[in-house]
Amino acid sequence: MNSITKIDLAQSELLKKDQQFVWHPYSSLSAPIPAYEVVSAKGVHLKLADGRELIDGMASWWCAIHGYNHPVLNAAAKDQIDKVSHVMFGGITHAPAVNLCEKLVAITPDGLDKVFLSDSGSVAVEIAIKMAFQYWISQGQPQKNKLLTLRRGYHGDTFAAMSVCDPETGMHHIFDQVVAKHHFAPAPMIGVHEPWDEEDIAEFTTIIREHKQQLAAVILEPIVQGAGGMRFYSPHYLKRVRELCDDNNVLLIADEIATGFGRSGKLFACEWAGISPDIMCLGKAITGGYMTLAATLCSAEVSRGICEGEAGCFMHGPTFMGNPLACAVANASIDLLLSSDWQANIQRIEAQLLTAVLPFNALNDVATTRVLGAIGVIEMKTPVNVAEIQKRFVAEGIWVRPFGKNVYVMPPYIISDSELEQLMSGIYRVLAN
């Protein structure tokens, strides 16, 4: 038996075991779709077990902003693992966590002065919601226990997060009868660079004014609605939300898990509107895709309000909170980003995407295209068959993971012009045929 045959058999056996034992995200065990085995990755390339290399257009669900196998991040992880990989955060502290929290306070919008670390984006949202509720309980207003959010939004897979995802068209709509009930305003319709019309926020205004006695917070994705539809909206809408929250004594939670660390063209999407939320959620790109880590930041007013209440502390404590290994890599990732001319680089990617999506508009099956920062979206007229289209993308040497009607890219920031051209040309060939 030659070596190639042995490799093929080993790969086949691994994929059989994968289908037998592994439950992948948003996949069916009744009709499993074969996964693609990745054996290594470097730069923007994923190497499959069969030797093929794919240009990754997804940055591993938007987190691997520096690409894969980056020497700076590798060194940070290797250095930290020889010191301490994990230690409980209750009653213990360490330099990686302290330095990270100081860094996050320095680079996020003014007024976000306290940082609570956790281990995933969904948990960061759960923490933000719990902060808002506990704040009002501590203020003697427990009736303020509802949230206001936007339709077509997405905030995560855990229960509180699901309760503020779109209740009808979102991926979690089947849980509508078991999650907590909150208030939903229509999704913003005015685009990032379009003229403002106050009518776009009229229903939101009515809801927040009518229910301000029961509303603890507004939670939204600033400027970019991510997994709920990859939609971009006017910064003026966000500015008006901040004003309305202030006028009606309601906290504002900004879910920047997808947009944080430069993806929209600003370091944080709130900067498009020049506003500061009361609470902000960060995740995904915080470690450059190396380790799972998230953070929920809040104002001194929110933290003080919580800690001066009956409990005397915030009632949450993840086991892996402040993981030193993750914090060390996060520090290196943020320093790597900020030491580069990241804004010019995002503008380079945006300019190339704006040109690249133009031909797609002539395709019969394409409804519209849109670009913001390092995000490019081709919205189809009907939902795509993910399994089938994925095979064709892989045959083109690219990795793209569509959902619903959206074929989109959010590549690593290190992608070159030629690699981005290969990525978009491959997508075009698949959608045009």
State the chain's maximal CA–CA distance in angstroms. Answer: 75
Of 293, 313, 338, which residue is a domain's last? 338
Of 338, 353, 376, which residue is a domain's last? 338
Both 280 and 404 in one domain: the answer is no
Both 290 and 356 in one domain: the answer is no
Give the per-residue pLDDT at 215: 98
Enter the DSSP assignment of 117. E
Residue among 119, 135, 144, 154 flagged as catalytic: 154
Q: Is pLDDT at 344 greater than 60 in this prediction?
A: yes
Does 284 qualify as catalytic in the annotation?
A: yes
Of 307, 338, 369, which residue is a domain's last? 338
Residue 348 lies in a domain: yes
Both 296 and 328 in one domain: the answer is yes
Q: How many independent structural domains does the chain possess?
A: 2
For the segment 246-288, what is each residue's pLDDT rounded down to a tens digit? 999 999 999 999 999 999 999 999 999 999 999 999 999 999 9
Both 328 and 351 in one domain: the answer is no
126-129, long-range: CB < 8 A, 24+ apart: 126/156, 126/158, 126/159, 126/160, 126/161, 127/281, 127/296, 127/316, 128/217, 128/219, 128/253, 128/255, 128/279, 128/280, 128/281, 128/296, 128/298, 129/160, 129/161, 129/164, 129/217, 129/219, 129/253
Instruction: Write the single-letter amino acid at 318.
Output: P
Both 109 and 243 in one domain: the answer is yes
Both 311 and 363 in one domain: the answer is no
Provide the β-strand partners of residue 407.
Answer: 378
Cβ proximity of 57 and 400 under 8 Å: yes
Q: What CATH number does the domain containing 355 carry? A: 3.90.1150.10
Both 191 and 116 in one domain: the answer is yes
114: which residues sit within 8 A by CB, 6+ positions away?
A: 105, 297, 298, 299, 300, 302, 303
Both 200 and 91 in one domain: the answer is yes
What's the pTM value of the predicted model, to 2 decimals?
0.96
Residue for token digits 């008006």?
240
Q: Is pLDDT at 403 greater than 80 in this prediction?
A: yes
Residue 234 lies in a domain: yes
Residue among 200, 284, 408, 413 flagged as catalytic: 284
Residue among 135, 255, 266, 405 flagged as catalytic: 255
Both 219 and 294 in one domain: the answer is yes
Q: How far apart are the first and last CA of the chain?
A: 39
Q: Is pLDDT at 12 greater than 90 in this prediction?
A: no
Residue 398 lies in a domain: yes
**DSSP letters spanning 309-320:** STTSS-S---TT
Give the per-residue pLDDT at 170: 81
Give the per-residue pLDDT at 353: 98
What is the C-alpha to C-alpha distance for residues 374 and 266, in angstroms, rounded to an integer? 10
For the segment 93-119, what is each residue's pLDDT rounded down to a tens digit? 999 999 999 999 999 999 999 999 999
Name the pairing type of β-strands 53-56 and 398-399: parallel
Both 317 and 376 in one domain: the answer is no
**DSSP letters spanning 153-201:** ----SSHHHHTTS-TTTSTTGGGTTTSPP-EEEPPP-S-TTSPP-GGGG
Residue 16 lies in a domain: no
Tokens of 178: 């078991």
Residue 31 lies in a domain: no
Which of the four pLDDT bands, split at 50, 70 and 90, describes residue 199?
very high
Does 381 qualify as catalytic in the annotation?
A: no
Give the per-residue pLDDT at 176: 87
Q: What CATH number does the domain containing 259 carry? A: 3.40.640.10
Dihedral of CA atoms 36, 41, 43, 44 in degrees, nearest 10, equals 0
Residue 22 lies in a domain: no
Both 218 and 333 in one domain: the answer is yes
Q: Which domain holds residue 404?
A: 36-69+341-432
Give the per-residue pLDDT at 253: 99
Both 40 and 122 in one domain: the answer is no
- Quick one: average pLDDT of 348-373? 98
